[in-house]
Amino acid sequence: MSLSAPSAAAAAAVASGAASSRPNAIRPAAGLRFCGLRREALGLRSSPQAVAARRSVAAAATAGNGAAGSGGFDYDLVIIGAGVGGHGAALHAVEKGLKTAIIEGDVVGGTCVNRGCVPSKALLAVSGRMRELQDEHHMKSLGLQVSLPGYDRQAVADHANNLASKIRSNLTNSMKALGVDILTGIGTIVGKQKVRYGKVGFPDNEITARNIIIATGSIPFVPKGIEIDGKTVFTSDHALKLESVPDWIAIVGSGYIGLEFSDVYTALGSEVTFVEALDQLMPGFDPEIGKLAQRILINPRKIDYHTGVFASKITPAKDGKPVLIELIDAKTKEHKETLEVDAALIATGRAPFTKGLGLENINVVTQRGFVPVDDRMQVMDADGNVVPNLYCIGDANGKLMLAHAASAQGISVVEQISGRDNILNHLSIPAACFTHPEISMVGLTEPQAREKADKEGFEVSVVKTSFKANTKALAENEGDGLAKMIYRPDTGEILGVHILGLHAADLIHEASNAIALGTRVQDIKFAVHAHPTLSEVLDELFKAAKVKAAGVSHSVNEPVAA
Amino acid sequence: MAGLLHLHSTLLPSASALRRRAGAPAPSSSRRCFRVEAKIREIFMPALSSTMTEGKIVSWTAAEGDRLSKGDPVVVVESDKADMDVETFHDGFLAAVLVPAGESAPVGSAIALLAESEEEIPAAQSKAASFSSGASSSPPAQETAAPEASAPPPPPPPPAPVAISAPAPPSPATQGGVRVVASPYAKKLAKDLGVDLFSVTGSGPGGRIVAKDVEAALAAPKKAAPVTAARPDVPLGSTVPFTTMQGAVSKNMVESLAVPTFRVGYTITTDALDQLYKKIKSKGVTMTALLAKATAMALVQHPVVNSSCRDGKSFTYSSSINIAVAVAIDGGLITPVLQDADKVDIYSLSRKWKELVDKARAKQLQPHEYNSEGRKWCFGYSVVNLKMKGTFTLSNLGMFGVDRFDAILPPGTGAIMAVGASEPTVVGTKDGRIGIKNQMQVNVTADHRVIYGADLAAFLQTLSKIIEDPKDLTF
């Protein structure tokens, strides 16, 4: 958890796997994977043409989305919130022949597409190139000569903004093409299977639905004492617009969001000071990866940091005075220091956006804003009973605040309401941080795995490999990095994989798929990897692992609820 | 993957260390003090690979005061290839860490002290204090005294016996009360370059110290140094015997007369080099390192200039190119050696140089790091049986405005180059115009038994090409 103040997000998100304890992991981690996930779930339907083609098939088979919902309901499924989670659920629902509507009060795409992973990937694409071009030593060792690389801030900002609009319209079109009804306004649950929606000042409409999914997402969490002015003290929402590149920016919180922004800002010429409440930076990562990340991503850059401190008060710059940040000791609460910087980015995690949902009408009480759910994402009421036909996915339930996790949860819910029980294995959901080089992970960290092994009485083994040993990485002159796999030597079950290195975010999926499908090390080690590719980093791990041959069980195939 | 830890019994302590130890409360008698002495071991930076010249301490796995058994991991060292856990070969207590995590040390230099028993820890720690505060406690005023405090915060040193004429760094007490606002990069630079932020004036917004202020502060005292050191405090009208070092210099100078030397000079245009220097100065690169690098690269092509005549009958070709650079210190001259200057990149070379000079001035150089005979401080040119030695020497008086001079060849080596100041010079260009270029004169003294006139001429031509088109220096 990378919060500089205790947040609801922190406590509620400690549910399970490697990534689950990082509330501010959420958005930036998912941009590219968002697309990947959709393709996986929907087969060919990622291009508009393919979508259209598929629609006619669907229409023939199920009378499409236009048929009246069965049993007197307006819809089979109503989703409140058209972010990545709601979108994933809607598309899968149509595939399952459900009449579906989605209610959006703001813009389609939610945080990820508009204020999160998507625009941040655009900025990171720029920062990665800038960093490379500025690294004279790196360029020279490749034999390249580059003089004075520079950038145009507005053009960079436009790139991010254009990308967001493009993905937003892709998302909207894909739903329209499938015939999902997009209803505009704020959705409120008024009773069992009943939702009211409408814009402010317009008459409300009431609709009935056999099933309802809450997918309202989250907003940046701003601790008390911090005054946001959107210019010199701001959250990721503003930072992504890149309205300025300050000389010196303090980033409060060193989780994914903070780390990615440090990558962007330092590449564009800013100096960065991290303020972290816990005793070490990047506390959510596997410790070994965290240490290496500090050596690669923090120490050589124009970054310093204060750990074990809260930013108790932040005052925006005004009247020629800089931004003032009061730091107090995280434990003793004593005043430690006052920082004077040009800007401050608050990246202390995210808080659920669940106000105005009308949960009180159905006896549901949020926990620090999060909607309580069970393993199947079914909403629980104040008495701990399941509320029938009501589900909550994504950041609003706080289980694992990642865009692709929300989408996966949505698909799992649709499976259930179409009559197939489904429990999502959260330990198989990968997470990634798109710094240069990238960091990715799936499953348990080494300490988590060892703790579990102690409790359950099994052995744990770890294998590691360096990017220095990979031909493709060396060809790119990017030998920095490490990959490690934690596994059970008795069964060959993969417990966790952690990668720091070139294209780590793309590499993790071989491991996450193996975990999701229950593939064991002794089987996957025979899979062939093209040479020379970065994928051989994982190949190296699989081949280095030693699994005891005798008595191999297949129990690893059982999905684990998390 | 454990590397070997090099442990040696402590060498004789320096005089100042003895003094301090005598004043320390722990050892009660001189006999005991002597016994203690033998049981404090230095932990050295190990060579983890054949190409490793310095190692960075990633982390100390043991803390000061920890009991260690033979084979326990003590420290994680990052070499040019990988990180390795390093184990101890002896039982004992980790008494003092001399090089904190995150900093680098040359292979073979002491990075920590290991005490055999718990009661020897205080003695070892006072010894450590002499390591880290050596600069401030050595009696004669040093020209580096002003801003270049050593990076790791040493234990409070005893009051220096002699007042220093240069502006003294603010005492720790005033540092506690004053707030310094410095940007992250400025702080990093200050640490790397050994600049005390309290002595820097900030030019950024709100008086904040930014990177260029640190660079300016680093440049300023260097220029001022000769001026402050210009009035040596000598007892006029008396005869002062040579110190050991001066005696050794004298002996070597006389010995040098037995070598038939000759000289060849060359004028080199330095515009391109100056420009490069300006560009990479902020990364801690020094002109000395650039010159050493250029010289080493030229020597690669002229191995004979890197050779020497040991017995009057043969050429001894050196297997590596180690550039010794003469450095004036109070009361003498030493020549720290930049090992494998042709192979080490310019940034590492500059760091290494800075480290050697700091240490030399604090009189902490390890035997293999300076050219000398045995452990005596001497005119560092004579070197026969030392593992590490200079194969070519550079002497630069350009900073004093000297435009040309003549150097005496250190016995045992083949050549020495005297480098003058680079100055704007009116020159006629090939197309018949008159222009101004920065030029410097170099003058090489060589042993004519092995190096002939044409050898030196060809070497100088190569060197001038490298300096006039210095792009390869930063590879």
Among B83, B114, B129, residue at a domain's last position = B129
User: B184 CB near a chain A CB, below 8 Å?
Assistant: yes
Q: Inspect the interface and report whether the beta carbons of B184 and A322 lie closer than 8 Å.
A: no
Q: Inspect the interface and report whether the beta carbons of A302 and B181 lie closer than 8 Å.
A: no
Q: Inspect the interface and report whether the beta carbons of A271 and B102 lie closer than 8 Å.
A: no
Q: In chain B, what residues touch A304 (CB-CB under 8 Å)?
A: 184, 187-188
Residue B430 token pair: 């090939």
Residue ranges in chain B whose pLDDT is less than 50: 1-37, 81, 133-177, 222-230, 366-368, 370-387
Domains of chain A, first to last: 72-220+349-424 (3.50.50.60), 233-348 (3.50.50.60), 427-544 (3.30.390.30)
User: B257 CB near a chain A CB, below 8 Å?
Assistant: no
Q: What is the pLDDT of residue A260?
A: 96
Q: Inspect the interface and report whether the beta carbons of B184 and A248 lie closer than 8 Å.
A: yes
User: B13 CB near a chain A CB, below 8 Å?
Assistant: no
Q: Inspect the interface and report whether the beta carbons of A322 and B205 lie closer than 8 Å.
A: yes
Return the residue in B197, B208, B214, B349 with the most chain A beta carbons within 10 A, the one to mutate for interface testing: B208
User: B191 CB near a chain A CB, below 8 Å?
Assistant: no
Q: In chain A, what residues touch B188 (CB-CB under 8 Å)?
A: 302, 304
Can you give the CATH number for the domain in which B394 is found? Answer: 3.30.559.10
State how far Cα B188 lies from the chain centre.
21
Q: Inspect the interface and report whether the beta carbons of A304 and B187 lie closer than 8 Å.
A: yes
Which residues, in sequence order, are bridge partners of residue B31?
none
User: B183 CB near a chain A CB, below 8 Å?
Assistant: yes
Q: Inspect the interface and report whether the beta carbons of A247 and B474 lie closer than 8 Å.
A: no
Is A92 part of the annotated catalytic residue set? no
Q: Inspect the interface and report whether the beta carbons of A468 and B82 lie closer than 8 Å.
A: yes
Distance CA B10, CA B461 (A): 47
Determine the residue of chain B that is closest to A339 in CA distance.
B181
Determine the residue of chain B that is closest to A479 in CA distance.
B81
Which residues, in sequence order, are bridge partners of residue A441?
A431, A498
Return the residue in B185, B347, B471, B474 with the most chain A beta carbons within 10 A, the one to mutate for interface testing: B185
Can you give the CATH number for the domain in which B53 is found? Answer: 2.40.50.100
**How many domains is chain B built from?**
2
User: B475 CB near a chain A CB, below 8 Å?
Assistant: yes
In 3D, which of A67, A106, A96, A90 has the Cα closest to residue A174? A90
Q: Inspect the interface and report whether the beta carbons of A272 and B181 lie closer than 8 Å.
A: no
Query: Does B295 fall in a domain?
Result: yes
Q: In chain A, what residues touch B59 (CB-CB under 8 Å)?
A: 291
The count of C-alpha atoms lying within 13 angstroms of the C-alpha of A19, restricted to the half-sphere facing its C-beta, is 33
Query: Does B62 fall in a domain?
Result: yes
- Facing A302 at nearest CB: one of B82, B184, B204: B184
The count of residues in chain B is 475
Binding site as annotated, residues of A for NAD(+):
253-260, 276, 349
Q: What is the pLDDT of residue B62?
A: 81
In 3D, which of A46, A51, A47, A3 has the Cα closest to residue A24? A3
Among B95, B129, B163, residue at a domain's last position = B129
Q: In chain A, what residues touch B474 (CB-CB under 8 Å)?
A: 136-137, 140
Query: Does B412 fall in a domain?
Result: yes
- The per-residue pLDDT string of chain A (562 residues; one tens digit each, 9 = 90 and over) reads 333 333 333 333 333 333 344 444 333 333 333 333 333 333 334 444 444 444 444 444 444 455 555 678 999 999 999 999 999 999 999 999 999 999 998 889 999 999 999 999 999 999 999 999 998 888 888 999 888 889 999 999 999 999 999 999 999 999 999 999 999 999 999 999 999 998 877 778 999 999 999 999 999 999 999 999 999 999 999 999 999 999 999 999 999 899 999 999 999 999 999 999 998 888 889 998 998 898 899 988 999 999 999 999 999 999 888 999 999 999 999 999 999 999 999 999 999 999 889 999 999 999 999 999 999 999 999 999 999 999 999 999 999 999 999 999 999 999 999 999 999 999 999 999 999 999 999 999 999 999 999 999 999 999 999 898 899 999 999 988 999 999 999 999 999 999 999 999 999 999 999 999 999 999 999 999 999 999 999 999 999 999 986 544 444 444 444 4
Mind spelling out the 3-state secondary structure of chain B?
CCECCEEEECCCCCHHHHHHHHHCCCCCCHHHHHHHHHCEEEEECCCCCCCCCEEEEEEECCCCCCEECCCCEEEEEECCCCEEEEECCCCEEEEEECCCCCCEEECCCEEEEEECCHHHHHHHHHHHHHHHCHHHHCCCCCCCCCCCCCCCCCCCCCCCCCCCCCCCCCCHHHHHHCCCCECHHHHHHHHHHCCCHHHCCCCCHHHCECHHHHHHHHHHHHHHHHHHCCCCCCCCCCCCCCCHHHHHHHHHHHHHHHCCEEEEEEEEECHHHHHHHHHHHHHCCCHHHHHHHHHHHHHHHCHHHHEECCCCCCCEECCCCCEEECEEECCEEECEEECCCCCCCHHHHHHHHHHHHHHHHCCCCCHHHECCCCCCCCCCCCCCCCCCCCCEEEEECHHHCCCCCCCCCCCCCCEEEEECCCEEEEEECCCCCEEEEEEEEEEEEEECCCCCHHHHHHHHHHHHHHHHCHHHHHC
Q: Inspect the interface and report whether the beta carbons of B184 and A272 lie closer than 8 Å.
A: yes
Binding site as annotated, residues of A for FAD:
121, 187, 216-218, 395, 401-404
Query: Does B165 fall in a domain?
Result: no
- Chain A: residues touching B (Cβ < 8 Å): 136-137, 140-141, 247-248, 271-273, 291, 295, 299, 302-304, 321-322, 338, 340, 342, 466, 468
Query: Does B168 fall in a domain?
Result: no
Q: In chain B, what residues touch A291 (CB-CB under 8 Å)?
A: 59
Q: How far is B433 from chain A (nearest CA, A)?
A: 30
User: B162 CB near a chain A CB, below 8 Å?
Assistant: no
ipTM metric = 0.75
Which residues, in sequence order, are bridge partners of residue A339?
A325
Q: In chain A, what residues touch B78 (CB-CB under 8 Å)?
A: 295
Query: Does B92 fall in a domain?
Result: yes
Q: How far is A220 from chain B (nearest CA, A)?
A: 26
Query: Does B203 fall in a domain?
Result: no
Coil/strand/helix, residue A323: strand
- Facing B184 at nearest CB: one of A140, A271, A342: A271
Q: Inspect the interface and report whether the beta carbons of A340 and B208 lie closer than 8 Å.
A: yes
**Residue B313 lies in domain:** 261-374+383-468
Same domain, B125 and B266: no
Same domain, B268 and B121: no
- Facing A340 at nearest CB: one of B81, B187, B206: B206
User: B454 CB near a chain A CB, below 8 Å?
Assistant: no
Determine the residue of chain B that is closest to A269 in CA distance.
B185
Among A238, A503, A509, A531, the one annotated catalytic: A531
Q: At what angle do helices A153-178 and A84-95 cross, to 10 degrees?
A: 30
Determine the residue of chain B that is closest to A138 in CA distance.
B475
Query: Does B194 fall in a domain?
Result: no
Return the residue in A247, A272, A321 with the most chain B beta carbons within 10 A, the one to mutate for interface testing: A247
Size of interface A-B (CB pairs under 8 A): 42
Q: What is the pLDDT of residue B230?
A: 46
Among B129, B155, B172, residue at a domain's last position = B129
User: B208 CB near a chain A CB, below 8 Å?
Assistant: yes
Q: In chain A, what residues touch B100 (CB-CB under 8 Å)?
A: none
